[in-house]
Structure 1
């Protein structure tokens, strides 16, 4: 019972209650310099929405194992929120804390786990207490602010990470979809230039041609690869791919501008399309 009260059931790491208790205990001069790292998983919501919470859980467990592998004996690792983790580094200077964070980043960059969407993409921030922070809340806020700065600075690489992951998954699951997207991209750009779209609009059109079928990632293989006619219930599930794609795109800032187009790319001018049967729009 004591073990359960201080540990996170999913990852086996310490929980927030134990983390805060230990941070309070270590926040005394005899443990200075006291460093702390806050980090979170980029894109957990996208993974949960696309592949299911069981896959999101695998991602969290994989990160936990990676953090344990690069940590020292005596470091205190905890999962303190849904996608947020924290590490207490007793008697650790700011320079040592920075080196530790670089080890974490390197381990994530070298991650080769399959499927590709479970490869780690994180944001982190670290802070060192040498007496200047009056309490642990100030310490936590500083580390949290640095983590969000890192998230902002790495936003472009994060979007590139998801774009590449989705492109590879689509190609692996259905090579015809990948070939279709490449052909459509060329046709769409040619038409877009002909009608006078600006560079921003052409960029979105190119991305839309590549990702319009992204929701098929969430369609079961038994339906996606069926070689004969789909049943009405199977066809209903297949038609869900535009809504799935919409949910995926709207949760990724660089993809959000084309989310609406992904949702409606199977609508017809006469109202016979899906998902909403929109006409003349």
Structure 2
């Protein structure tokens, strides 16, 4: 509906807009030169950008292509085929950017519906990278750790806001819904060339060292190292800062809690190094 509205706003009165397949449109531009068609494509793209005020903050993106009939003998079907080929060329060239823009939009949407802010994520990221360097992670893994710290909960965009904001214990049904965010996050990350390298780590960031985590009960070193690092840092930061459902505790108490959960929830080696980092 939104797509059709933008096309109508961008086109001239004499242009004919029609549905072409499930998610495609075809626009017939009578007596129109190449440059005018290109200008229309630019106008449609600008209309999408300028009207991107959806309440869910999800960016609308369109792939567009055009072809002009300059020979009266040329068949209309060949013109449509050329336009479609040009559209797919443009789609191929812009897919990576579109995908990454959508990820950014999802991240903004998540900040708006959860208790975490960009400052919270930046704080955790900084501490996670400090621990990663202490553990002598290679640069490539440090890069992935930074990305994981920023978008680990991206799957929560698919979780209802009233579940995320509950201050009492979740029902079994709500808990099952919430736990799916790791797998949803994995699927979102796999769709982006930028995030695909951390997809497995996103799915594993709630796994426990003893195998009692979710979603796949991974244990020990089956869990990616960056997920194990992030789990410790995130838990520590959560304990030190007020949350809607829990008050902050002191640094000493947080360290005691990490020690208590070492070899249960957390990698004992990571916990030991982390305590050195923050002491």
TM-score of the two chains, using structure 2 as the length reference = 0.71
Matching residue of 2:83: 143
Q: Does the C-alpha gap of structure 1 residues 213 and 82 become closer, same or farther in structure 2, counting only changes over 3 Å? A: same
Matching residue of 1:171: 111
Relative contact order (alpha carbons < 8 A, sep ≥ 6): 1 or 2 greater? 1
Matching residue of 2:69: 129
For structure 1, the residue ranges without an aligned partner over 5 or more in a row are 1-60
Deviation at 1:226, TM superposition (A): 0.6
In structure 1, the residue corresponding to 2:51 is in which secondary structure?
coil
In structure 2, the residue corresponding to 1:123 is in which secondary structure?
coil
The yes-or-no answer on 1:120 pairing with 2:60 is yes
Question: Which of 54, 58, 77 does residue 17 from structure 2 map onto?
Answer: 77
Matching residue of 1:32: none
Deviation at 1:175, TM superposition (A): 3.4
For structure 2, the residue ranges without an aligned partner over 5 or more in a row are 223-279
In structure 1, the residue corresponding to 2:97 is in which secondary structure?
helix
What do residues 39-84 of structure 1 show as CA deviations (whole Å, max 9, x unaligned)?
xxxxxxxxxxxxxxxxxxxxxx111101101111221212223332
The yes-or-no answer on 1:216 pairing with 2:156 is yes
What do residues 221-279 of structure 1 show as CA deviations (whole Å, max 9, x unaligned)?
22111111112222111111111212222223322222221111111121100011112
Matching residue of 1:260: 200
Q: CA RMSD in A?
A: 2.2
In structure 2, the residue corresponding to 1:128 is in which secondary structure?
coil
The yes-or-no answer on 1:154 pairing with 2:81 is no
Matching residue of 1:201: 141
The 2-side partners of 1:225 and 1:236 are apart by: 15
Matching residue of 2:182: 242
The total of aligned residue pairs comes to: 221
Q: Which moved more, 1:144-153 or 1:85-94?
A: 144-153
In structure 1, the residue corresponding to 2:213 is in which secondary structure?
coil
CA contact (8 A) 2:163 2:174 kept: yes
Deviation at 1:97, TM superposition (A): 0.7
The 1-side partners of 2:140 and 2:16 are apart by: 47
Point out the structure with the larger strand share: 1
Deviation at 1:86, TM superposition (A): 1.7
The 1-side partners of 2:197 and 2:71 are apart by: 46
Matching residue of 1:93: 33
The 2-side partners of 1:240 and 1:133 are apart by: 57
TM-score of the two chains, using structure 1 as the length reference = 0.71
